[in-house]
Amino acid sequence: MIARSDLRWEMRHRRRSLPDTVRVHCAHRLVSHIVHSHPFQRSQRIACFFPQDGEIDISLLFPRIFSMGKRVYLPVLHFRRLWFFPFRIDTPLVYDKYGIPEPKLPPHVRCAPRALDLVFAPLVAFDLSGNRLGMGGGYYDRTFDYLLHRRAFRKPLLIGVAYGFQQVAALPKEHWDVPLHGVVTDEGWFWIS
């Protein structure tokens, strides 16, 4: 099995190497798969992210979310975890230490992770066992670690977002890794059973 660091480098390089026309085409296909899905249709509070480092552009979904009266939440780094803040077109943004835009809003307006219906999480690689390789910060795992201790399904539905080529046969699993419920790519949905 390839080392996490090598796989992370390889996938990030492949993402960044995509031509802009391919990127846009893939992002539109991704959004189409999302808007026609039952999880999206029945969700009201949806956490998304602004792409960076060649990630597939899920922000193309924002206008559809707004037009349907749903709410978008964006992650904000808070020490070693994520807070989720509401986002609209007029929301002021600042850049975090990684250069990712995040809402500049007072803490009292944040949404608790348990109150979100659907969370779209960025990733570097995934497998069909629900394992996700992120950028290495562990923010999503620490934020949603309570899902590891639940016997019955609880909110939110945690969905990885990627290009289809980011799927690998198997990823090593650590005890702190929070598994995904599914992954959506430009090629379609992959549900974890």
How is 73-97 classified by DSSP, letter by letter? EEEEEETTEEEEEEE-TT--EEE-T
Distance, CA of 68 to CA of 140 (rounded, Å)? 27
CB-based contacts of 159: which residues, under 8 Å, 6+ apart? Answer: 39, 118, 119, 120, 121, 180, 181, 182, 183, 184
pLDDT of 38-90, one tens digit each?
999 999 999 999 999 999 999 999 999 999 999 999 999 999 999 999 999 99
Residue 119: which pLDDT band, with cuts at 50, 70 and 90?
very high
Q: Which of 1, 11, 50 is nearest to 133 (CA)?
A: 11
- The tokens for 112 are 């608790």
For 130-180, write each residue's pLDDT tens digit. Answer: 999 999 899 999 999 999 987 665 789 999 999 999 999 999 888 899 999
Band the pLDDT of 104: cuts 50, 70, 90.
very high
Q: What pLDDT is attached to residue 3?
A: 85
Domain count, the chain: 1
Mean of pLDDT values over 94-118: 96
**What CATH number is associated with residue 114?**
3.40.50.10420
Domain membership of residue 41 as a residue range? 4-191
Asked if 171 and 126 count as a contact pair (C-beta separation under 8 A), the reply is yes
**CA separation for the pair 35, 139 (Å, rounded):** 26
